[in-house]
Structure 1
Amino acid sequence: MKIVFMGSPDFAVPTLEKLIDSHHDVVGVFSQPPRPAGRGMKEQKTPVHRVAEAYDIPVFTPKRINDSAFAELQALAPDLIVVAAYGLILRKRVLDLAPCLNIHPSALPRWRGAAPLNWTILAGDKNTEICIMHMEEALDTGPVYKRIPLELEDNETAGTLHNKAAQIGAEGILDVVNNWAEFEGTAETQSENGVTYASKIEKDDRLTDFTKPADDVLNHIRGLSPFPCATGKMDGVNYKFLMAEHAHGNAEGSMGAGSIIAANPAEGLVVACGKGAVRLSRLQKQGKAAMDDMTFLRGNNLPEGAAFENK
């Protein structure tokens, strides 16, 4: 079959690579336009763009699917359009041109929206799914062809879940494409019950609230790691928290939430929560490189009793 692929970030790369390696013909790739990035703010092509170019596949980078972009898409005459984290809204005329299949990394209808991987962990979910769905105009409401269950590890982060979901989603959507004659027309309508939305992570969402129980604080830090990162502030200095774990043998005691209980080589950097305590095992001070807490403590003096701000 002739396939047009639409995707942009690293998440979409495994799907494109599997389609390229298949017997199908990837006739074109649509991706976000190059944008300034990095220290030099030079224009950078998306990961998908770079892969497509390496295989001499035509790449189209419209800022939106306007009349000229739609004409280019139409000229490719795809049998299927496969979408993975493209980042642009697809209007009805695109959806009507050919069946549009999408990878959504959540157990739909739970966590429709922009940041399902983050919110799955932020909410403390223990299980999720990777859904191969038929796209509609409404946000992530389309019927689902295939659901692939995924159990989260105890120390799962948004980063590790991202990598698993990208690979599982690539394999799942290739199965649907390879067996389209059997899957076409079989997608199941999503339930109207249990709908939740995974909104874009905003700056205020990143601030760590240590007044919450330790389990919630851990979910917060892991759910935002490695990007966009949970944050904290002490004495006007900003910190990013990249990894954390339960602080065994410590409790909040008489110290308030956010207070440092321990800051030493034996215990690491331990902070009191509303219930229990966490060890901030990897963090980054404003203007400095990220490092583990033991290395951090050798060069930074955070005395016991000092406290991170709470929401």
Structure 2
Amino acid sequence: MTTINSTSSDSSSSDSIAEISASNDKLRPLRVVFAGTPEFAAISLEALISQQEALNINIVAVYSQPDRKAGRGQKLATSAVKQVALAHDIPVEQPATFKKSVAEGIAARETLRIYQADVMIVAAYGLILPIGVLTIPTYGCLNIHGSLLPRWRGAAPIHRALLAGDSETGITIMQMDKGLDTGDMLYKVSCAIEADDSAASLHDKLADLGATAISTVLQDLASYQAQASAQDDNAANYAEKLIKTEGAIDWVQPAVVIERQIRGLTPWPGAYTFLDGQRVKILASLPVNTTQQTEQPAGTVISVGRKAILVACGKNDIIESTDSASTLSITKLQFAGSKPVSAEQICHGNQLNDGDLFTTELN
């Protein structure tokens, strides 16, 4: 007679079942919920949708902010992220809040739970996610942030990097926590800021870089989370949200500061000045030439040339110590109610003349 050790048999059977279960989990696509609103986020969503099979993920739902009224007709506008989701037949959720203090917020949390997400990818969503939401997905929420954290936490990292004259920025994939962009960093990739970069061009570069970065992390999420590193709070600074009045050019400032302002605030809110009672948008300028100096009062149009319009600015102490004022070479501007025009078009017209004075405020 053969005696069977039931205890040993049960143990071996349990181990086998556990191994099979673990193996199945690795084979099962990662259930992903994506949350974002503008074009910056839509680029990453498009990339993830196209790589679902390669990354072994399944995007089960997309979250975006509620439709807003926009344009002169004040019609409801659909976000870039929502448009991408609808084009690919992915369910879209648009809660106004996740706060558990209101019925809508409670319902939004319950809906998120129904999707049984393994991970939530967040990019420029624009809606605060309480800690109770961040813990709903199995592996939490990952943020695609447009800076090299801890530098430029906050709402406008791309613009602030340009305004500050930074030579590089980048993308950080971060494990979200209850703080404002304070979570542990999973992956960072840098991007040089070129002399002619505007907020628009840098936005496009970082949007593409963000799509690549989040795809890289999702290839081996467990490893990246295991090797996550904490941010140095002492090295942190904040990218405050932009306001329209930041676009007003103070010609007493050095040309290098104004040139950064033009690039950092294009296309929104835009850098502007005033001439004879009308607002003029300054759309583009050349990098500052430190050898060009003037004794003219700040804001004076020194010359209207075919290649650039030369304007007197404040002292250039930022670059070098000098008693002379710096100059800015404007290549494109826009008068109120008109289309953008180049320096050459201005030179051939009569809208601007040598000696005209740009002012910071409407006179």
TM-score, normalised on structure 1? Answer: 0.95
Q: Is the contact made by 1:214 and 1:246 (CA closer than 8 Å) also made in structure 2?
A: no
Aligned counterpart in structure 2 of residue 104 of structure 1, from 145, 149, 163:
145
Match for residue 78 of structure 2? 45
CA deviation after TM superposition for structure 1 residue 156, in Å: 1.1
Match for residue 76 of structure 1? 115
Letter in 2 for 1:63: A
Aligned counterpart in structure 1 of residue 167 of structure 2, from 126, 134, 138:
126
Q: Is the contact made by 1:3 and 1:25 (CA closer than 8 Å) also made in structure 2?
A: yes
CA distance in structure 2 between the partners assigned to 1:247 and 1:49 by the alignment? 41
Q: Is the contact made by 1:250 and 1:277 (CA closer than 8 Å) also made in structure 2?
A: no
CA deviation after TM superposition for structure 1 residue 235, in Å: 2.1
Secondary structure of residue in 2 paired with 1:97: coil
Q: What per-residue deviation string (whole Å, max 9, x for no partner) do you get for residues 157-205 of structure 1?
A: 1111100100111110111112112112321100122221110111221
CA distance in structure 2 between the partners assigned to 1:300 and 1:69 by the alignment? 58
CA distance in structure 2 between the partners assigned to 1:244 and 1:91 by the alignment? 43
Question: In terms of mean alpha carbon deviation, does 216-225 or 38-47 score higher?
Answer: 38-47
CA distance in structure 1 between the partners assigned to 2:244 and 2:267 by the alignment? 15
Match for residue 172 of structure 1? 213
Secondary structure of residue in 1 paired with 2:228: coil
Q: Does 2:343 align with 1:293?
A: yes
CA deviation after TM superposition for structure 1 residue 225, in Å: 1.1
CA deviation after TM superposition for structure 1 residue 40, in Å: 2.4
Secondary structure of residue in 1 paired with 2:286: strand
Letter in 2 for 1:145: L
CA deviation after TM superposition for structure 1 residue 136, in Å: 1.1
* More relative contact order, 1 or 2 (CA 8 Å, 6+ apart): 1
Secondary structure of residue in 2 paired with 1:279: strand
CA distance in structure 2 between the partners assigned to 1:171 and 1:161 by the alignment? 15
Aligned 1:6-17 pairs, distance under 5 A:
6-17=35-46
CA deviation after TM superposition for structure 1 residue 245, in Å: 0.8
Q: Which structure: larger Rg? A: 2
Aligned 1:21-170 pairs, distance under 5 A:
21=50, 22-23=52-53, 24-65=57-98, 66-98=105-137, 99-170=140-211
CA distance in structure 2 between the partners assigned to 1:217 and 1:124 by the alignment? 11
Of all paired residues, the percent bearing the same amino acid is: 38
Which ranges of structure 1 fall in alignment gaps of 5 or more residues?
A: none
CA distance in structure 1 between the partners assigned to 2:293 and 2:252 by the alignment? 10
TM-score, normalised on structure 2? Answer: 0.82
Q: Is the contact made by 2:305 and 2:343 (CA closer than 8 Å) also made in structure 1?
A: no
Superposition CA RMSD, Å: 1.7
CA distance in structure 2 between the partners assigned to 1:190 and 1:248 by the alignment? 38
Q: Is the contact made by 1:251 and 1:272 (CA closer than 8 Å) also made in structure 2?
A: no
CA distance in structure 2 between the partners assigned to 1:249 and 1:124 by the alignment? 16
CA distance in structure 1 between the partners assigned to 2:291 and 2:355 by the alignment? 14
